[in-house]
């Protein structure tokens, strides 16, 4: 399924809505969106994953890259990820570094 991403920036918060499947091809699109916000003073990155059906390690690498590029002050919120994606975040320990929430603002 085709991947789509939409970004909205509201002061210190960048919200990205991810739809479809995030593999090594679509991760390039996700990475480009992150690079676009990298020089802005963003404190929270909110990723709405309710309609994201698949995420490979290429997607995880973009999450790691976001934190490394934007800086340790960045908080990453993942909104409503599907159960199998939560499973991937847990297996790889990334759930320790992001906050999984049902809605944002929390």
Partner 1 sequence: METKSFPGVVDSLDELRDYIGELAQKAGLVKKSTYSLKLAIDEIATNIILYGYERTGLKADFTVLSEITEDKLTVILEDVAAAFDPLSREMPDHEDLTMALEEREIGGLGIFLTINGVDDFSYEYKDGKNRNIFIMKIVKS
| Distance (Å, whole) CA 27 – CA 33 | 10
Neighbours of 102 (CB within 10 A): 8
| Distance (Å, whole) CA 102 – CA 91 | 20
101 binds partner 1 (CB under 8 A): no
| Distance (Å, whole) CA 92 – CA 87 | 9
Nearer to partner 1, 8 or 90 (CB): 90
Residue 93 structure tokens:
């320990």
Q: Which of 13, 31, 38, 61 binds partner 1 (CB under 8 A)?
A: 61
103 binds partner 1 (CB under 8 A): no
Q: How many residues of this chain interact with partner 1, rule: CB under 8 A?
A: 30
Span of 9-17, 19-27, 33-41, 43-51 interacting with partner 1 by CB under 8 A: 19-27
32 binds partner 1 (CB under 8 A): no
């Amino acid at each position: 399924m085709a991947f789509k991403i939409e970004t909205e920036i509201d002061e210190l918060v960048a919200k990205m809505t991810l739809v479809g499947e995030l593999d090594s091809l679509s991760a390039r699109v996700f990475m480009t969106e992150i690079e676009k916000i990298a020089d802005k003073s963003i404190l929270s990155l909110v990723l709405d994953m309710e309609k994201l059906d698949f995420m490979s390690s290429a997607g995880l690498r973009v999450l790691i890259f976001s934190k490394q590029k934007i800086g340790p002050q960045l908080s990453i919120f993942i909104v409503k990820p599907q159960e199998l994606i939560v499973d991937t975040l847990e297996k790889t320990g990334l759930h320790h570094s992001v906050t999984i929430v049902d809605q944002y603002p929390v």
